[in-house]
Structure 1
Amino acid sequence: MQKGLHMSKLACAMAAMLMAGTASSVQAAPTHDKNVIGYITQWEAWKGTNAGFSVKGEATHLNVNMDIYSILNFSFFGVAKDGSLHSGDLRNKKIYQPNAVQEPGPLLHPDVYSSWDFHILWGELEYIHQFPGNEAWEQDALRKVQEQGFVKSGNGWLHAPSGVSGQMPIPLKKAGGAPGLIDLAHQNGVKVMASLGGWSMSKHFPEMAADPVKKARFLADVDKLMALGFDGIDIDWEYPGTGGMNFQGNPEDYGNFEQLMEDIRDRIGPNKLLTAAFSASTGKLEGYNWPRLVASMDYFNMMTYDLNGGWSNVAGHNAPLYPYPEEEYQDLDLDHLRVWMAAKGIPSEKINFGAAFYGRGVQTTETTAYVGAPTDKRTVNFSVDGPTESAVDLDNWKEFEGQPNYNYIMQTAGWEHMWDANAEVPYAVKGKYFLSYDDVPSIERKAQYIVDNQLGGVIVWQVHGDIKCEGSFVNYGSKLKQCTNLSSPLAEAIDKVFSGNGIVNTAPALTVPAVQNVDAGTVVSFSVSATDAENDPLSFTVTNATVADNGDGTATVTYQAPNTATDIQDTVTVKVSDGRKAATGSVVIHVKGSGIVGNTPPVLTAPAKATVNSGQSVVISVQADDADGDLLTFTASEGTVVTTPTGADITFNAPIVTVDTVVDVTVTVSDGIARESAMIAVTVQADSTGGQTTWDPNKVYNGGDTVMFNGVKYTAKWWTKGEEPGSSSVWEAFDDGSVGEWGASKVYLSGDQVTFNAQAYKAKWWNKGDQPGKAGGPWQLM
């Protein structure tokens, strides 16, 4: 069982059933040794002919060349103000405004009609509009929902294997329908990662990484992502130490980022992937402890694009390979970054450089634009960034807000295309307008640069930027469409170079032994061998065992059998590479059980302490793991306990105190045979006002002023007088990340959480004075 993730044996069986049909041992695609990591977004599927696609719904997982990509990053899940993760479709579109925050939301958007989340991740869907009962006519529907792991939860559903919940209808995977992203990728030997953050959803990363309580919520949602079948986590915190959209960075971010990587690694285990996207500006990279990151992370995905754009004072290149005389700022190119990272001792094989499948257009002050021409800025109201001073070209690339996809650029006439021999990238001009982009020759040069410098590979933003359907479409339901003849010229150029520039290279021939037998707790060793038609040097790697290369085309694999009471079957995967292509083979291991039945006590992880204000509530999250996979139960000496997919949440209602008081809360987890306990010291901070009101209806308050009202602390967002806190939007209640008691006089917005009668509720819409627990009301029991 994955560390930090607890599911019942039934849920595990359901998860295994849902993955049935997925190849258990598939040679990775592609077969060369370089990473080709493509970002696939939730929102691109909405775009149609106005954005260069043949039809709306073309830009999904069904139209990605799985023979080229080795990893796909599903983008993005955002970070909310309480540290939890939410669907990218639920991002606060006004997050650019001062004091704006991201409210918590579902991990996957529950509305299958307004979101692509389930259609992309689970594939073609069959809808069940109400949870089936036990009537004879409902038996077929009941069987389907039970087989796929759905159980009734309030007025909606809960997917037991992953812990993801939603509203009606139930989104069943359609039998025989088009597979979802994860299933389709796995069938082709491609891994899929969950990418967290992005430019517009990183605001709460710093506070989450610095706060153990919020981080616990974050990690609990990481558990859900892994239970959904993702192969790892990609962090896109833009940017630690320097800040991003509507938030400032601080020096502590670097250490907190490094700790977060280690926490995620501990959570997902050593065999899953952990990566992150980094700025290509070395000034933003100096604060990291790179050896520490190297120890916990698999790859560093360097965003070697967006180096110039509408914010620049002169027209420059989006993603230059080398420096050029007209550049506004020095050292913003791929070559400089590589040299800098090498000097830091960062292993080259862990470095992936960016490939931009899009361009950036700007308008200049010149009659005819050129590299280095002064840009012409004005205030532009962007859909994501809001009002911003920019020279972005909206006259030619309005649908893309100045960032056209490569496939659209190639369809657009009237531009004069040129080549910058210094930067080794193309650009185009049309009158005063300047466009920087990448084409097949520049992408080939970058791919060859990666090969020549023995880097790990590339990251592609984003996989649908270069696709072109040269066939017809097959429809899968009302949403998904698959092209019968798909062209991806930029991705194909990368694959051509990584595979040997079109020169045929034969993959090594690998020979592995038959089934191996071993007793529980003992070791077995066996030999493997390989040959290569081109006599290239060979290297061996294995999973689930250790390997020693004998240097003569053979290797010795050593497998340590687990201590098990019953007979089990395990698999060791062997991979041999000639530097460009690889071959894999699997060896089945039969482990003979000892017959000695024992029980391993559960392992409990809990914070040592917590803090809560007098009279308020705090949710304390604990996690537990059980090596035997037993069903775990939780109890606490104080507060109410709600089981979560990874442990439990204890809601502690603090007493009203006049001096700071420490209350010891003992949490216990049991597997039915053994138990483990932990004590959490909860400091109840005295209310200096004694719960009294300090708000004066006759006093003028300005933005930033704070008051107490009915025991709640409020902050004024702008000038106000006579507007009662809790009843007017001018007042914002203080949020310490905990869930407070419901108040009849307080205004609640969709997504707000409260406790009432020792139960947790979430607001479904705006309300005031509506008591939680009433049927049909605005509160949903959590």
Structure 2
Amino acid sequence: MTRRVIPLLSLLGLLAGLLVVGATGRSQAAHHEQCRPDGLYRTPGVAVPYCDIYDTEGRERMSSARRVIGYFTGWRHGKNGQPAYLVNNVPWNKLTHINYAFAHVGPDNEVSVGTTNPNNPATGMEWPTVPGAEMDPSLPFKGHFNLLNKFKKQHPDVKTLISVGGWAETGGYLDDNGDRVASGGFYSMTTNANNSVNTAGINTFADSVVSFLRTYGFDGVDIDYEYPTSMKDAGNPLDWNIANPRRAGLMRSYVELMKTLREKLDAASATDGRYYMLTVAAPSSGYLLRGMEHFQVFQYLDYINIMSYDLHGAWNEFVGPNAALYDDGNDAELKHWNVYDTPQYGGIGYLNTDWAAHYFRGGVQAGRINIGLPYYTRGWRNVTGGTNGLWGEAVGSECPNGLATCGDGARGIDNIWHDIEDGTEVGAGSNPMWHAKNLERGIAGSYLRSYGLDPDNDPEDRLTGTYARHYDTTLVAPWLWNNDKKVFLSTEDEQSLATKVEYVVDTGLGGVMFWELAGDFAWDDGRGEYFMGSTLTTRLYDSFRTATPYNTRRANRTMPYDTLDVRFELTGFALGDNNYPISPKLRITNNSQQTLPGGTEIQFDYPTAAPANMAQQSGWSLSVISSDHTGPNRGGLKGDFHRVALRLPNWQTLAPGQSTEVQLTYYLPISGPANYTVSSGGRTYAVQQDLGRQTAGGTPTNTTTPTSTTATTTATTTTTPPPVCHAPAWDRTEVYTAGDTVSHKSHAWRAKWWTQGEEPGTTDEWGVWEDLGPC
């Protein structure tokens, strides 16, 4: 995205305005409020410098219109005899963010990357013979962290985040010898053995994160906690003995972890004068999300990276795509569990990227959602049935630790990025995309022995048969099928990536993240084979660079101008497999100064990732009054929201300070709900809990036009008449600075920067005055 050039006089005025904020008595907090993303939590009493990275629409400032986030892994350092992928190999000019994987939770509950020593790739290792990987001698640490800071000086627009956790280090950590220590990690740091919140552990961790960011120069932290769900046996089997007894308290503790991190990062941001980001890697499986209540941590996050991959893999026998964009109504795993034929599910398949994106859209604007792309394969061998392997079956016997049953994961030359357990290869069909490209072209690859393969003596390690590429346009999923070996490898390539780019742009999403940078490919003429490169990343960035800006508003409707302090909370979720149907209680607390009479109407949105059959079990009146999508989701969900109308019983009032509850029932997990309105006494209000964007005077500005044209509406939404113009009238002689509001010609206006004598309404959309609407 091309950045707008501010005229020199306006730029000087903006700088002057920032300098005189204190002198004029206008708060710095009011100035930065104009940059706060819609729905992002405000830490009380802290002037958070949102404008450090966000513009006045609450949109992240980047070199591209959409995010391109690459995970850089610390273990591809080359000192183990395998090909190296170092910081100098990163295509810095084709990325907006880099996530370093991984740090972990240490035994003292502090974030850590291990002891600094010459063998520590993060802080101690050096590569003196590699051109471009020379250390920056001005820094007190070496390793990847040194090089990240060195290259960031050349590419200051690229933000770097430390990612904490991951599959192997959520419930423990890898020590300096590479041995796994089952310390409890996130599970015990956040949650005590009695399922209460471990407040001391969380505070220790959050304080250490702030110190870590300051020490190593990162722009934020990405929490990759796999997984704070109540579903039994979720996450790494090596963690089950610690995680399973704590399932009842994990989500409650997860919320406290995110709130604490947000508040401590905000305080550090205000002190340091630079904004620190908080993001998460979130699961995409409907099964895992069912045990994460309604994912009520949105308000604390800058954005969510959806792990919309590993949707099928050799942990079970169902052969399918790693990261399909859409459902096709034929998912073998969902058919096995009778999902399509269960009427309450509405024919919705939930193992695809589109379903996951719509799930998260229920609680946050599209621009704070990034879908995940895999730069690696998943695969099986000895596949039976299906069409060229797709939706076939592969039952295995050599299962990873903790699994009694599993699929028959591909091995040998079909599994070069393999893990080792108890000295044995774990079959998973895991390969970088550059190796998959070589298999497709019948090239064995000169690098096989560096990954422990022995083609001369082991038949599994030899190139045999033909790997034919196949593609399903409904799923948006490519794969390789070796009919001789009955091997199925799910891939990601140029065609599927192009369609996913279109999807991100068309739906207003924030962008993509991918795992991992070392899996990308390029053709190497000198080697005569595909090897590590940046083909996919370059295509992503070049496609997004000039795309339309992402969506910054949560509501697809015009929200009321006035707000009411009424709080809504979903509580009482049953745990694990007992949570079907999903039947929490919606607790409504009136924190306002006016009594809500019987018949008060409450409306809210919930995502189309769940069918339009929400009901109540408390004798209230509830109806789904509009739906952006109904029926199965083959080929994708057509819109974002269902709109619900809920009425307080006529005999019940809700006085200031009082609470009441209504039990809801729905059948697939939802995030949110969001975009609440309360209608009483002929007026309709938004609610303060939704944290809508504010003007300096404190009025919501979240007014967007509905984007869906497929809604079937059975009732109309009542909105508040425009309020009177409370802001002072514009004065040509007055000096205004960023955040000041005025009224002029029956509209409210907000200054974006310093100005004097520029009449509101006479400048274009890029001018100093932002039109807040009629008043």
**What's the TM-score, normalizing by structure 2?**
0.49
**What's the TM-score, normalizing by structure 1?**
0.48
Q: Which has the higher contact order (CA 8 A, sep 6+)?
A: 2
Structure with greater Cα Rg: 1
Name the one with the larger strand percent.
1
